[in-house]
Structure 1
Amino acid sequence: YSKVNRDNETWTHQLELGWVKVTNLQPNTMYKDVLVPRDPLGKESDRQMALRILCSERSPVGGIAVKEHFEVVVIPLQIQITYHFYKILLAFFFPGETDEDDDVENKKKDKKEKDKKKKEAKKSKSSFYIDVDSEDIDKMRERAANNNTFVYVKIPEVSMRVSYKGEKEKNIEDIHDFSIILPTFEYHNRIWTWFDILMALKNDSKRLILSQAIKQKLHMRSRVGDETPLTDVQQEEDKMKMLLGAKLLAGQDKPRKKSLFGKSQEK
């Protein structure tokens, strides 16, 4: 780690790790090695680092820290993670924060409670003030204190092999040993917390991984078997199986025959 202070009230942080490995120590877990480099780093690798983080800052504006350039460079990685382990990491690094995907129901409940308070306030004609939850104010202040202005954020392209196991026994989003190429991610002029950056990367990566996973599924037959391309009907069937599961579509494929009275019967 190194830090350089300049005379023009700017400074730069740089962190480099030659090797990185994350192990899941939870008992009876599906994946022990959560994160490891795909290709071992040789001794003559021209100081190639497994992880390099660069952050250039300047003086705060309006009390908000300004990150002029934030860049994260990683070598090709193998990632194997479960939903449970992801939640543990999230609670450790960002206590009190909630993943957007898990926060839908909580938002619905909060909306109902706020609507109820508004109705009660309207009924009270003699009241000139509306009570505001002190917890909401504290959260807003804390979030404002943690905000950063990110002028430019860059995460260069990287290839990965990804395995993920969802919360339930069977999940649509479950993938195993998928080869993924994540393109360069760039963001400009965002007022974010560090948690906001994580969620933005997670959502963009999730969308691309799902897209590439479907493409791999669609072309799996032609790679393994003959070179005959899939028809439009076969591609649509494969998409439905990826999204809904094969069992839900099994009942639609059963042949039917008509009885003497014109009613269809399953064989």
Structure 2
Amino acid sequence: YSKVNRDNETWTHQLELGWVKVTNLQPNTMYKDVLVPRDPLGKESDRQMALRILCSERSPVGGIAVKEHFEVVVIPLQIQITYHFYKILLAFFFPGETDEDDDVENKKKDKKEKDKKKKEAKKSKSSFYIDVDSEDIDKMRERAANNNTFVYVKIPEVSMRVSYKGEKEKNIEDIHDFSIILPTFEYHNRIWTWFDILMALKNDSKRLILSQAIKQKLHMRSRVGDETPLTDVQQEEDKMKMLLGAKLLVRHN
């Protein structure tokens, strides 16, 4: 790790790791090696670091930290993770935050309760009264204090082999040993917390992984020697099997 301070009130942080490995120590887990480089012999690490983070900053504006350039570079990785381990990591690094995917149902319930309270409040208070939950105000203040202005964020293209096991025994999003190429991600002029960056990367990566996984599924026949092109109907059936599973597809038909 190094930090360089300049006379023009700017500074740069740089973190480099020659090797990185994450192991799941939970008992009876499906995947023990959560994250390891795809080059076990170290050929890739001879040319570059396993992880390089660069962050250039300047003086805060309006109390908000300004990151002029934030870049994360990693070598090709193998990632094997379960939903349970992901939740443990999330709670450790971002206590109190909730993954938006898991929060959908709770938001629906909360919305119904809030709508009911608002109707009751309108009956008993003037039309100029606005009902604001004190917990929501506290969360807004906390997020504002943790906000950063990211002028430019870049995560260069990287290839990965990904395995993921969802919360239940069978899940639509389950994948095993899929080769994925994530393109370069770039974001400009965003006011985000570090948690916001993680969620943006997660959502963009999830969309691309699902898209590539479906493509691999559709071309599986040609890889095993079936040169007959798939019809539109067969492609749609393969997509349904990929997303819903063969048993659900039979019931649907």
Does the pair score TM above 0.5? yes
Q: Distance in 2 between matches of 1:137 and 1:45?
A: 47
Question: Does the Cα contact within 8 Å between 2:161 and 2:178 map onto a contact in 1?
Answer: yes
Question: Structure 1 224/2 Cα, relative in aligned 2: closer, same or farther at 3 Å?
Answer: same
Offset at residue 132 of structure 1 (A): 3.2
Q: CA offsets per residue over residues 232-261 of structure 1, 9 Å max, x none?
A: 222111111112211123xxxxxxxxxxxx
* CA drift at 1:112: 1.8
Q: How many residues align?
A: 252
**TM-score, length basis structure 2:** 0.94
- CA shift for structure 1 position 65: 0.5
Shift of 1:41: 5.8
Moved more, 125-134 or 6-15: 125-134
Relative to structure 1, is the Cα distance of residues 60 and 90 closer, same or farther in structure 2, using a 3 angstrom cutoff? same
Moved more, 44-53 or 141-150: 44-53
Name 1:233's counterpart in structure 2: 233
Stretch of structure 1 that moved more, 223-232 or 119-128 = 119-128
| 1:166-195 per-position Cα deviation (integer Å, ceiling 9, x unaligned) | 000011111000000000000000000000
For residues 55 and 157 of structure 1, the distance between their equivalents in structure 2, rounded to whole angstroms, comes to 18
Q: How far off is 1:45 after superposition?
A: 5.2
8 Å Cα contact 2:38/2:77 also seen in 1? yes
Quote the Cα distance in structure 1 between the aligned partners of 2:150 and 2:184. 17
Q: Aligned-pair distance for 1:124?
A: 1.4
* Worse-matched range after superposition: 235-244 or 182-191: 235-244
Compute the displacement of 1:11 (Å): 0.4
Is this contact kept in 2: 1:214–1:239, CA < 8 A? yes
1:196 CA displacement = 0.4
- In structure 2, stretches of 5+ residues that fail to align are none
- The structure-2 alpha-carbon separation of the partners of 1:16 and 1:125, relative to structure 1 and needing over 3 Å to count, comes to closer
1:46 & 1:78 partners in 2: Cα distance? Answer: 18
Asked whether the equivalents of residues 79 and 161 of structure 1 are also in contact (C-alpha less than 8 Å), the reply is yes
Q: TM-score under structure 1 normalisation?
A: 0.89
- Identity rate, percent: 99
> In structure 1, what is the Cα distance between the partners aligned to 2:37 and 2:46?
17
CA shift in 2, pair 1:23/1:189, >3 Å: same
C-alpha spacing 1:266/1:233, structure 2 compared with 1 (3 Å): closer
**Residues 189 and 91 from structure 1, CA distance in 2 versus in 1: closer, same or farther, beyond 3 angstroms?**
same
Work out the CA distance in 2 between the residues paired with 1:137 and 1:200: 23
Cα 1:97–1:45 change in 2 (3 A) is closer
Instruction: Say if 1:121 and 1:127, in contact at 8 Å, map to a contact too.
Output: no
Higher mean C-alpha deviation, range 123-132 or range 159-168: 123-132
5+ residue gaps, structure 1, are: 250-264
Shift of 1:111: 1.4
The range that moved more, 232-241 or 209-218, is: 232-241
Q: Give 1:133 shift.
A: 2.6
**Which aligned runs of 4 or more in structure 1 are off by greater than 6 angstroms?**
none
| Larger Rg, first or second structure (1 or 2) | 1
Residue 15 and residue 227 in structure 1: after superposition, are their counterparts in 2 closer, same or farther (change >3 A)?
A: same
> Per the alignment, do residues 22 and 266 of structure 1 end up closer, same or farther by CA in structure 2, a change over 3 Å counting?
closer
